[in-house]
Amino acid sequence: MKQKKIFKKYNEDQYCNKDNLKLLYDPNNKEECYTFENDPYAHGGYECDPLTGKWSTFCKPYYCDIGYYFDVFQNKCIQDKCTENTDESDEDKEDEKFPVWAIVLISVVSVLILVIIVIIIYKLCYLKGKRESKAGPLLDQNSKSYTKDLGEDE
């Protein structure tokens, strides 16, 4: 019941809050107080008359079309730089995207290169270990056995 009274007071009976003059009444019919000659992107609402406490007939802008924002200092709509390139077609956007197959190909090639590097490093370390194990006893042999193999007398 309370909400119906509030709705009736501020919409049907046209009362407004004198303590908050920044609130505007938007009839929301896209006919009244919707367009402004000096700013085609701006739309507005009616101000509250602080003397009567009812919505006045003075219409002022307060919001803009999509792609624009309302600058309260200049009191007009300014184009939003963040939404400047919204006119591109979907095909143009798809062409700019990096293809999925290229990402997969780069990933597979990277993994293969890493596997090859690991295999090469392992083989080098494994072969080096084998060479050291074979060379170890030869270096540890005393000079007698070395000369014996050469055919010299002791």
- List the structure tokens of 34: 């919707």
Clarify whether residues 76 and 100 are in a common domain: no
Same-domain pairing of 49 and 12: yes
Which range has highest mean pLDDT (88-92, 111-115, 128-132)? 111-115
Which residues have CB under 8 Å from 128's CB, separation 6+?
A: none
Question: pTM of the predicted model, to two decimals?
Answer: 0.48
Q: Looking at the structure, do residues 8 and 71 belong to the same domain, yes or no?
A: yes
d(CA 146, CA 86): 86
Please give the structure tokens belonging to residue 141: 């042999």
User: How do residues 96-127 score in pLDDT, each as one tens digit?
Assistant: 677 888 889 999 999 999 999 999 998 888 87
Domain count, the chain: 2
Same structural domain, 29 and 52: yes
Range of the domain at 135: 95-149
Q: Determine the average pLDDT of the residues in 6-25.
A: 86
Asked if the structure places residue 85 within a domain, the reply is no
Same domain, residue pair 69 and 103: no
Q: Looking at the domain assignment, is residue 69 inside a domain?
A: yes
Identify the band that residue 33 occupies on the pLDDT scale cut at 50, 70 and 90: confident
Dig out the tokens for 91 from the structure: 């095909």
If you average pLDDT over residues 81-102, what whole number do you get?
69
Domain boundary among 30, 57, 80: 80
pLDDT in tens, 38-55: 899 999 999 999 888 898
Q: Are residues 9 and 66 in the same domain?
A: yes
59 and 115 belong to one structural domain: no
Residue among 60, 41, 46 nearest 15 (CA): 46
Domain shared by 124 and 61, yes or no: no
